[in-house]
Amino acid sequence: MAYVDGFLIPVKTARKDDYRAFAKEWTTYFKELGAISWYENWGDDVPEGKITDFRRAVALEADETVVFSWMVWPDKETRNAAWTKMMVEEEPADMPFDGKRMIFGGFEPIVMSG
């Protein structure tokens, strides 16, 4: 069964093009490791909530935009193997976002359409 990784990422708005280039590179990398698809979505209509919201989730700063991303794997085993391989490799020197405020998790789909 498919498995999904989801991410919320605070990105400096001025670094949108840098982030896009970074994401394209990583998309290729993860597809080589077995990912079926990857979606990167630049925040466009991200309202402030009364109790919580995407902005608060990543402690968004005034000069940042929230990116909402997810990738689909054929199964959890493929995903785990890919993440294990990635964790032993060197972290990129100039990530265009604050990884400490990135929120991520793995999800088992319960309804899929399309």
Q: 74-107: b or e for each residue (b if 16 or more CB lie within 10 Å)?
A: eeeebbeebeeeeeeeeeeeebbbeeeebeeeee
Question: Does the pLDDT of residue 91 top 80, yes or no?
Answer: no
**Stretch 29-41: mean pLDDT:** 95
Domain CATH number, residue 20:
3.30.70.100
Domain span at residue 27? 3-107
Q: Is 83 among the domain residues?
A: yes
> How high is the pLDDT of residue 90?
61
Domain tally, the chain: 1
Question: Does the pLDDT of residue 93 top 80, yes or no?
Answer: no
